[in-house]
Structure 1
C-alpha cells in the first residue's frame, strides 16, 4: 500500500514494457496462450523522450484489472539478449489466476499448444507455473492459497527479514513455518 502522506501518490502500474523480437508474433502469442486482448500500438521513427532516431513498434496488451503489458520491437538495434549474469528464473512476468483449477487449466492449455511448463510449484501462500514466451521472457501464472493469518505473519516478519538479509546475505529463517507445510495445501 502506498503511504498516504508520501508526496508521490501512485495509482498503480500504467504498463510494464519489455522488448520483443517480433511485435506481431508476440501479440498473437499472448492472445492465444493467455487470452490477453491487444488494445493499442504506437510506432515512431524517433524516440519521443530522447529525440533519437530509432524506429520502433510499441504494442499494448490488456492483462486484466487495468493492468497493461507492453512490448517494443526495435528493428534497428542489435539482436536482443539477456543479462548473462542474471539467472533466467529471476526476471519474469507474474500474472494472477483465480484458483488452482484455473492454474491447472492454464497449464493444460499451454502444454496442448506445445509450451514447456514447469510446476505447479508450491510457495507456501501461492502456487505457480512457469514457462517462456517466444522472446525468452519467463512468465509465471500464480494463484494465492494462503490464509489471512499467513499473509499477516508475512507482513509482520518482512522488516526483520530484510534487515537480517541486509546484514548477513543469507536466507533469514523468519518464515520457515511457511514451507513446513508445503505440499499439504
Structure 2
C-alpha cells in the first residue's frame, strides 16, 4: 500500500481506555507514581450511544508527546473480577522513556512509592521494567536499544513469510479452538481504481 496520508490516515493514539476500580487510586498511580499529567475528567450519568443509566467518571492522563491514556470509573456496572491481574499477553501498556538512564531513574522512583518495578529485561530491541497498576493491568516502561530500528527493519522485511509459516503452524489448533467463522477475515477489500 502507498505511504500517503490518504492511505495511512491514522497519525497516532489519541487515547486508550479501560475501566478502573477507583479514579483516585488510579490518579495516584498514573500521576504521582508514573508522573503523567492529569488532564481532567468528566462525569456523565448515561452511556453515550445507548443511553443506559450508568454514572461514570472518564479521566484522562497526558503523556509528553500529547497522547493520552484514560479510564472509566463506573462502579455500578463494574465486575470485581475484572480487576484481577491480567496476563501480559492479554493486556498491558508499554510506555516509552527516552533512555536507559531514564528507565533506571523511573524504576527507582516507582519503587520509592512502594510499587514493585521488576527488570530491566533485555528484549534486544528494547529494555523494559514491569509493574501492575491498581486495576490489574501490567505496565511496561521501555527504552529503545541502539539496534531497535535495524531489528524492526529486518522483522518487517521477513514478516510476510513469518506470518504465513505461523498461520500454517497454528491453523488447525485455532480451527479446533475457535471455529472457522471466528478466525475468518471480515469485510471485503476496497475496489481498486
What's the TM-score, normalizing by structure 2?
0.79
CA displacement at 1:134 relative to structure 2: 1.0
Change (3 A) 1:2 1:89: farther
Deviation per CA, 1:79-133: give whole Å up to 9, x if none. 343499x961221001000111111111111112111122111111111011001
**Match of 2:35?**
35
**In structure 1, distance between residues paired with 2:5 and 2:28:** 43
**In structure 2, distance between residues paired with 1:124 and 1:29:** 28
**Match of 1:23?**
23
**In structure 2, distance between residues paired with 1:83 and 1:28:** 17
**In structure 2, distance between residues paired with 1:122 and 1:150:** 14
CA displacement at 1:146 relative to structure 2: 3.7
Change (3 A) 1:78 1:20: closer
Any stretches of 5+ residues in structure 1 without a counterpart?
171-185
**Matched pairs, number:** 169
- Within 5 A, what are the aligned runs for 1:40-79? 40-79=40-79
Deviation per CA, 1:136-173: give whole Å up to 9, x if none. 11100010004243332122122221111111139xxx
- Indicate the RMSD between aligned Cα atoms, in angstroms: 2.5
Change (3 A) 1:87 1:15: closer
Higher-helix-fraction structure: 2
* In the alignment, structure 1 residue 152 sits paired with structure 2 residue 153: yes
* In the alignment, structure 1 residue 99 sits paired with structure 2 residue 108: no
SS of the aligned residue for 1:64 comes to coil
Q: Which runs of 4+ in 1 moved over 6 A?
A: none
Any stretches of 5+ residues in structure 2 without a counterpart?
172-193
**In structure 2, distance between residues paired with 1:105 and 1:8:** 36
